[in-house]
Amino acid sequence: MTTTRTWESLTVPAAGTYNLDVAHTRIGFVVKHMMVSKVRGHFDTFTGSVTIAENPLESTAELTIKTDSISTGMPDRDGHLRSDDFLATEKFPEITFKSTRVVGHAGDEFTVAGDLTVRDVTKEIELTVEYGGVGTNPWGAQVWGFSIHAEFDREDFGLTWNQALETGGVLVGKKVKIEIEGEANPAA
> Which residue from 93, 80, 145 is spatially nearest to 119, judged by alpha carbons?
93
pLDDT at 160: 72
- pLDDT at 141 (0 to 100): 80
pLDDT of residue 147: 97
| CA R_g for the chain | 18
Question: So what's the pLDDT on residue 32?
Answer: 74
Lowest mean pLDDT among 8-12, 35-39, 94-98: 35-39
Task: Check residues 112 and 14 and name the one with the higher pLDDT.
Answer: 112
Q: How many helices (H) and strands (E) does the chain have?
A: 1, 13
Q: What number of other Cβ atoms are within 10 A of residue 74's Cβ? A: 12
Q: Per mean pLDDT, which range of 31-35, 78-82, 130-134, 179-183 is the poorest? A: 31-35
Convert the pLDDT of each residue in 6-21 to its tens digit.
889 898 998 999 999 9
pLDDT tens-digit series, residues 143-172: 999 999 999 988 888 877 666 656 655 456
pLDDT over threshold 60, residue 110: yes
- Say which amino acid occupies 41: G
* Residue percentage of the chain with pLDDT more than 90: 64
Q: Each residue of 48-64: pLDDT tens digit?
A: 999 999 999 999 999 99
Task: Please provide the average confidence, as pLDDT, over all residues in the chain.
Answer: 89
Residue type, 158: G
Q: Could you tell me the residue ranges of all domains in the chain? A: 4-186
**pLDDT value of position 22:** 94
Residue 146 pLDDT? 96
- Which range of 25-39, 90-104, 173-187 scores highest in mean pLDDT? It is 90-104
The pLDDT score that the predictor gives to residue 5 is: 87
How far apart (Å, rounded) are the C-alpha atoms in residues 30 and 16?
32
More confident residue, 18 or 174: 18
Q: How many CB atoms lie within 10 A of CB 27?
A: 23
CA end-to-end span of the chain: 12
User: Of 36, 30, 78, 32, nearest to 173 (Cα)?
Assistant: 32
CATH code that applies to domain 4-186:
2.40.128.110
Closest CA to 179 of 27, 49, 59: 27
